[in-house]
Chains A and B, each alone.
Chain A
Amino acid sequence: MAKPTNDAQLLIQSLRKAYAATPTNLKIIDLYVVYAVATALIQVGYMAIVGSFPFNSFLSGVLSCVGTAVLAVCLRIQVNKDNKEFKDLPPERAFADFILCNLVLHLVIMNFLG
């Protein structure tokens, strides 16, 4: 029917317009999140083809992607100037926390990779 597709087109257009207004640093973080999630999906697809034998390796691969995506979203939340709760937090501190958490995450992944 015509109405839902019209609705969908309108939805996509307004989403695109609203998103174009976000600042560049947030867009970079979003790109990173999309890249991490895409890598995770590729790994899941590979596992579906080849089988999950060293399960710890599969888990560590997928969880490192998911983990770093989630941490990047947390960084985006903390750096976004529109969030009232985080206006006292200097963006350098947010970034340092992000780096620290990623470091711990990847160290554990290294141990878990097997």
Chain B
Amino acid sequence: MGATSNASPSPPLNSALSSFPSLKALKFTTKQQELLIRVSALALIYVLAFVVRLFSVLRYESMIHEFDPYFNYRTTLFLTKNGFSEFWNWFDSESWYPLGRIIGGTLYPGLMVTAALIHRILHFLSFAVHIREVCVLTAPFFASNTTLVAYFFGKEIWDSGAGLVAAALIAICPGYISRSVAGSYDNEGVAIFALLLTFYLFVKAVNTGSLAWSLASAFGYFYMVSAWGGYVFIINLVPLYVLVLLVTGRYSMRLYVAYNCMYVVGMLLAMQIRFVGFQHVQSGEHMAAMGVFFLLQVFYFLDWVKYILNDIKLFHSFLRITLTCAITVGVLALSIGTASGYISPWTGRFYSLLDPTYAKDHIPIIASVSEHQPTAWSSFMFDFHILLFLFPAGLYFCFKRLSDATIFVVMYGLTSMYFAGVMVRLILVAAPAMCLVSSIAVSATVKNLSSLVRTKSKSSQGSNKPLSGSKAAAKASADQSLPFQKNGAIALLLGALYLLCRYAIHCTWVTSEAYSSPSIVLAARGHGGGRVIFDDYREAYYWLRQNTPPDAKVMSWWDYGYQITAMGNRTVIVDNNTWNNTHIATVGRAMSSYEHEAYEIMLSLDVNYVLVVFGGVTGYSSDDINKFLWMVRIGGGVFPVIKEPDYLVNGEFRVDKGAAPKMLNCLMYKLCYYRFGELTTEYGKPPGYDRVRGVEIGNKDIKLEYLEEAFTTSNWIVRIYKVKPPKNRW
């Protein structure tokens, strides 16, 4: 068939080649052409994945976004300045005053070590880049690497066409872009690469049964553990997969080799990270892996005994004895461990994934984070677009051609989709699975359709040549079964192309509009349509850095802690790590008490400055007044003297004249609205009109007794107050 297609166009080809003498040497075979197309497509996808994430760098500047990345940036800076040993043993007294924080033992070092390594390599090659540039561009670089891993993974589960489609889909998938845009220097940027790499290496190990590949997957798992707390997903999905294979009877020797090597070496490597510590043998979340490990030993031992004993009856009695012993020992160990508390139960963060209402009732801090809320359908459509309906199609194709690898991808897809439905943040973990499964659908459909298009032309050429009569008759009858088959196939192919183009347009639009804002610099459209930039946050932090004594302590709500330490370089009371609920509740209590009560709390914590965020002048809605009820709830969770109904009127949260008296006189209200009653914010509205809440504030005549205003930024977004020292006693 290859000869027929080459024979007819060869005269024009030769003439074309003769006109370009240099190309004569480049007469590629079909295989080489295919390789060239694949390699160039992959190279383009690699560059695309990097470039699509650069919107915010082009629009604003190369800076770190949001809150958590500032902590990562500060630790990376420390690592590059002081070396790994200092970093690993770092005790930080600049946060959580007066407790301090053992940073070396409470972070996941993968991201920082990776960025520091890239920085060192670049310096070795004499590119003198600042560490901030490396940090900003780490996430897009690893997103490009993820597309490569997705290509190899797709090739492993289906074929190289599916791999290419998977790489292309994941390069621009908004679910992944949202956490890996340039400037978003967060653990997930590296962790998704590590996750996909671990899964790919494990599937490769199961397919080949080689110890070398399992060792590689153990190293991939180690990288994942060092990068993100979400490694718990891997250590539970892989045993579940092994269990499913055992139950469906698809087990083989390769599975034993792959899982055992990965589990033992991976567990040992993971325990080298101090933050993880001994959790692999003590925590309930990791027990599934250990249970499956022991189950595998028993299972394969029984299999081996059955093989060497040719007698069925004897084997049954042996089976009975062993099973009774194994099950008794297992149940006994598990119950003693759980009852004595040695095996700790599932922690709140992961338990709320199984029971979504748990955090709301018991742990308000986890419930208050906006990323932990359940996902709405609009988020799914926004982040996945056509992948939403390509996913079930891909599942169908996977079930049609079941193999060990496709079973794994199906399980990964289903479990990650369940978790994505429970928590918005986990859409990120589902994104690679969606892309992989959808790529199978796209690749298989396009392959079938284009083979339909090509069979028609081949059989029309074949009918020109003299064939045996029955063969020609059979082919002719097949041609006539669906007369418009070729046209239908071409139409469907064009439809598929249209869908993929819409996907690309949607993804680019979403990236540009929704996921490229730095959160620390706000932009809006002014009256004339020009862009107005609000750089208040950095203005306030640099004022702190330049105008306060170096040992000043700043109290603010925990959202801003990381940014204050990183940019303002001052000690904070609480920050985003939220490891000590009582300390945060103390701050929450101070913010929601009357000024004299709050003053005593602030004196006990040695606070010098208080920082609040206020959006009433600009209409910025993520300010502290909107977060105030969470401060009340968290404070009230530890100190019963703070009661939420005191601040509400008929269950409603109001700041105008009809607000609760405790609300109108609490510290947060006073600090946000101090001198606001004299300001006219909008044309035609009375002075003191709050643009976010949409009402005129209730208490305009605010006098501060124990604090004085130190600094208010140009758009009133950040306000800093100095705590007056206690009066001298005469």
Interface SS of chain A: helix
Selected from A19, A63, A73, A98, the residue in CB contact (under 8 A) with B308 is A19
Provided the pairs A74-B260, A100-B211 are in contact, do residues A63 and B253 lie with their beta carbons within 8 angstroms?
no
Assess whether B314 is in contact with A14, with CB atoms less than 8 Å apart.
Answer: yes
Assess whether B209 is in contact with A85, with CB atoms less than 8 Å apart.
Answer: yes
A10 CB-CB contact with B under 8 Å: yes
Which of B154-162, B264-272, B613-621, B676-684 lies at the interface with chain A? Answer: B264-272
**B142 CB → nearest A CB, Å:** 24
Provided the pairs A78-B211, A97-B212 are in contact, do residues A63 and B254 lie with their beta carbons within 8 angstroms?
no
Assess whether B311 is in contact with A112, with CB atoms less than 8 Å apart.
Answer: no
Query: In whole angstroms, what is the CA distance A111 to B271 when docked?
Result: 11
B317 CB-CB contact with A under 8 Å: yes
Query: In whole angstroms, what is the CA distance A75 to B269 when docked?
Result: 21
A-B pairs with CB below 8 Å: how many? Answer: 95
**B49 CB → nearest A CB, Å:** 32
Assess whether B268 is in contact with A63, with CB atoms less than 8 Å apart.
Answer: yes
Q: How does the 8 Å CB contact mask read for B189-233 relative to A, with 1 for contact and 0 for none?
A: 000000000000000000001111011001000000000000000
Q: How does the 8 Å CB contact mask read for B252-290 relative to A, with 1 for contact and 0 for none?
A: 111011001100110111011000001001000000000
Query: In whole angstroms, what is the CA distance A52 to B252 when docked?
Result: 37
Query: In whole angstroms, what is the CA distance A15 to B278 when docked?
Result: 39
Cβ contacts under 8 Å, B271 to chain A: 56, 59, 112
A83 CB-CB contact with B under 8 Å: yes
Provided the pairs A59-B278, A67-B268 are in contact, do residues A7 and B314 lie with their beta carbons within 8 angstroms?
yes
A70 CB-CB contact with B under 8 Å: yes
Provided the pairs A14-B311, A77-B257, A111-B272 are in contact, do residues A63 and B305 lie with their beta carbons within 8 angstroms?
no
B269: nearest chain-A partner, CB-CB: A108
Assess whether B211 is in contact with A66, with CB atoms less than 8 Å apart.
Answer: no
A94 CB-CB contact with B under 8 Å: yes
Query: In whole angstroms, what is the CA distance A55 to B342 when docked?
Result: 13
A75: nearest chain-B partner, CB-CB: B211
Assess whether B253 is in contact with A67, with CB atoms less than 8 Å apart.
Answer: no
Number of chain B interface residues as a range: 20 to 34
Query: In whole angstroms, what is the CA distance A56 to B252 when docked?
Result: 34
**A10 CB → nearest B CB, Å:** 6
B318 CB-CB contact with A under 8 Å: yes
A104 CB-CB contact with B under 8 Å: yes
A50 CB-CB contact with B under 8 Å: no
Cβ contacts under 8 Å, A97 to chain B: 210-212, 215
Cβ contacts under 8 Å, B308 to chain A: 15, 18-19, 21-22
Assess whether A7 is in contact with B317, with CB atoms less than 8 Å apart.
Answer: yes
**A100 CB → nearest B CB, Å:** 7
B329 CB-CB contact with A under 8 Å: no
A35 CB-CB contact with B under 8 Å: no
**A67 CB → nearest B CB, Å:** 4
B125 CB-CB contact with A under 8 Å: no
A71 CB-CB contact with B under 8 Å: yes
Sample of 11 more A-B contacts, CB < 8 Å, known A74-B211, A74-B256, A89-B209: A10-B314, A70-B260, A71-B211, A71-B264, A73-B256, A77-B253, A77-B257, A78-B253, A89-B210, A97-B211, A97-B212
What are 20 pairs between A and B in contact, CB < 8 Å?
Answer: A7-B314, A14-B311, A15-B318, A21-B308, A56-B271, A56-B278, A59-B271, A63-B268, A71-B260, A71-B261, A74-B211, A77-B257, A78-B211, A78-B253, A89-B209, A97-B211, A97-B212, A100-B211, A105-B265, A109-B268
What residues make up the interface of A, taking CB atoms closer than 8 Å to B?
A: 7-8, 10-11, 14-15, 18-19, 21-22, 55-56, 59-60, 63, 66-67, 70-71, 73-75, 77-78, 82-83, 85-86, 89, 94, 97-98, 100-101, 104-105, 108-109, 111-112
